[in-house]
Chains A and B, each alone.
Chain A
Amino acid sequence: MLWTIDTASDEPLFAQIAARVRAAVSAGELREGDRLPPARTLADSLDVNVHTVLHAYQDLRDEGLVDLRRGRGAVVRAHPEYVALAAPLAALVDAARRAGVSPATTASLLHAAFAQPTPED
């Protein structure tokens, strides 16, 4: 899979790496049982510190998205809820692009939508 990080972004590099894995799982690009590259390999490829990649992998493990085992590396676990969001997310991104709304604005709208109190039954 393609890994990109933006050195000019305010988002920390480890968070960008973790976000890339979440997006790939959601898009079905990474499936249950797939292995992420060894931290050392990915760190060399992206020219970042190995601890940056390990930080990202540990966050993903804490979320339950991957299993981290010594000797086996990071293995993706089953995540139906991420996959369920893939289509609506793609539709949202598509709608935002067509309407000319920036990613930052779209993200804040999404945050605001979650902040809305939902009517109780």
Chain B
Amino acid sequence: MTAQGTTVRTPVPHRLATTLLGLVLPFALMTAGALIALSWRDELPDPVATHWGADGPDGFSSFAGALAPLLLGLVLCVGAWALGFWAGRDGGARRIAVGTSAGLGTLFAVLLVGTLAVQRGLTDAADAPGVGGTIVGALVGALLVGIGVALIVPRDAPQPTSARVDPRAPRLPLSSTQRAAWSRTVASPAAVVAAVVAVTASVVLAVVVGAWFALVVPVALTALLAVTLVWRVTVDERGIEARSFVGWPSVRIPLDEVEGASVVHVRPLPEFGGWGYRLGRGGRAGLALRTGDGVEIRRTGGRVLVVTVDDAATAAALLNTLADRSRA
């Protein structure tokens, strides 16, 4: 709540790395894709196939038209990079933004090169073979590059503070001999609905179209959703942590980086644009799993993290009390 009130905000860290990995890298990949396509220009049919249905190519365009998707890729990459560059105070959110940008660049570049490669030497694009392998390769490549880049994005350096915790924030009465911990699980109903819909739809699609490669999508979705469905949130003398039931991923704020915690009402869609670990309005990072109460933690370095969880009042009060105690 008071985050907006601070006049001096620390600059977003690691902007050079964010730009190199989240803008220069995907830009270079897509440029390379375009250059390879240009070098094949004389060997390609005119028009070229740009869209495939169940029975082979069903969409065609000029050579320039085939390059047009790169513009969309460019816009998406610039958008993801901009998020990381201007709003990426939170290391986790910055990693996701930069990884997304690098992954998207890979996806668009591989799709372009792969779909044109199968048409080299053809006189009629309608004879082009299927591109299932290219699609699987592009998805897997995008995933690998995205994850790889996300892993090498520099993490936040520890920024401990010894300043007093916000005196207006809630507290929990504890005696000096008491040890306290708070723990609670939170499930994401949106993820369950999304999981069932997406997995069913893609399995049906795969069976109807008879495209084995389309099964990659439900498998990947299931794996992705399995690790983000249920989380355990813990507050103790080490700080606050939200950890997926699978054990990974997790988000943690050490006690010495807590400036103050409070309860907020969270609406994932308008405030964070969806569900999951996201960057929201005002540069807040959020583990937004459902509508309702959440803990908002103001963290050193101008960072804010919101975690939706039941009984957020107790979690916030305990976090402030333990932070007080560690700085006494």
A residues contacting B by CB (< 8 A) are 1-9, 35, 37, 41-42, 44-47
Q: Which residue of the partner chain B has the closest CB to A48? A: B179
Contact-residue bracket for chain B = 20 to 34
Given A6-B179, A35-B185, A45-B238, 13 more A-B residue pairs with CB atoms under 8 Å apart are A2-B172, A2-B182, A2-B314, A5-B178, A5-B179, A7-B177, A8-B177, A9-B177, A42-B181, A42-B183, A45-B234, A46-B236, A47-B237
**B174 contacts partner chain A, Cβ-Cβ < 8 Å:** yes
Contacts of B178 in A (CB 8 A): 4-7
**B184 contacts partner chain A, Cβ-Cβ < 8 Å:** yes
**B267 contacts partner chain A, Cβ-Cβ < 8 Å:** no
B residues contacting A by CB (< 8 A) are 172, 174-175, 177-185, 232, 234, 236-238, 311, 314, 318
If over half of B's interface residues share one DSSP class (helix, strand or loop), that class is named, otherwise mixed; here it is strand
Whole-angstrom CA separation of A79 from B238 in the bound complex: 34
Q: Report yes or no: B181 in contact with A6, Cβ–Cβ below 8 A.
A: no
Contacts of A42 in B (CB 8 A): 181, 183
Q: Report yes or no: B180 in contact with A4, Cβ–Cβ below 8 A.
A: yes
Q: For chains A and B in complex, what number of residue pairs have CB atoms within 8 angstroms?
A: 52
Q: With contacts A6-B177, A7-B177, A42-B183 known, is A1 near B232, CB below 8 A?
A: no
B173 to chain A, nearest CB (A): 11
Q: Which residue of the partner chain A has the closest CB to B176? A: A8
Whole-angstrom CA separation of A45 from B184 in the bound complex: 13
Chosen A-B contacts, 16 in total, with CB atoms closer than 8 Å, are A2-B318, A4-B178, A4-B179, A5-B180, A6-B177, A6-B179, A7-B177, A9-B177, A37-B234, A41-B183, A41-B232, A41-B234, A45-B183, A46-B179, A46-B181, A47-B179
A42 to chain B, nearest CB (A): 7
Whole-angstrom CA separation of A4 from B184 in the bound complex: 14
B64 to chain A, nearest CB (A): 58
Q: Which residue of the partner chain B has the closest CB to A4? A: B180
Q: Report yes or no: B185 in contact with A45, Cβ–Cβ below 8 A.
A: no
B232: contacting residue among A3, A5, A37, A47, CB under 8 A: A37
Q: Report yes or no: A1 in contact with B184, Cβ–Cβ below 8 A.
A: yes
Whole-angstrom CA separation of A2 from B181 in the bound complex: 6
Contacts of B184 in A (CB 8 A): 1
Q: Report yes or no: A45 in contact with B175, Cβ–Cβ below 8 A.
A: no
Whole-angstrom CA separation of A47 from B182 in the bound complex: 13
Q: Which residue of the partner chain A has the closest CB to B230? A: A35
A93 to chain B, nearest CB (A): 16
Q: Report yes or no: B234 in contact with A4, Cβ–Cβ below 8 A.
A: no
Q: Which residue of the partner chain B has the closest CB to A13? A: B179
Contacts of B318 in A (CB 8 A): 2
Contacts of A4 in B (CB 8 A): 174, 178-180
Contacts of A2 in B (CB 8 A): 172, 180-182, 314, 318
Contacts of A8 in B (CB 8 A): 177
Whole-angstrom CA separation of A66 from B164 in the bound complex: 41
Q: Which residue of the partner chain B has the closest CB to A9? A: B177
B132 to chain A, nearest CB (A): 38
Whole-angstrom CA separation of A120 from B70 in the bound complex: 89
Most-contacted residue by chain A among B177, B179, B232, B314 (CB, 10 A): B179
A14 to chain B, nearest CB (A): 14
Q: Report yes or no: A3 in contact with B177, Cβ–Cβ below 8 A.
A: no
Whole-angstrom CA separation of A112 from B244 in the bound complex: 48
Q: Which residue of the partner chain A has the closest CB to B177? A: A8
- 8 smallest CB-CB distances across A and B, nearest first, come from A45-B181, A8-B177, A45-B236, A37-B183, A4-B180, A3-B181, A2-B182, A6-B178
A3: contacting residue among B172, B183, B238, CB under 8 A: B183
Whole-angstrom CA separation of A7 from B174 in the bound complex: 12
Q: Which residue of the partner chain B has the closest CB to A34? A: B185
Whole-angstrom CA separation of A41 from B311 in the bound complex: 19
B231 to chain A, nearest CB (A): 13
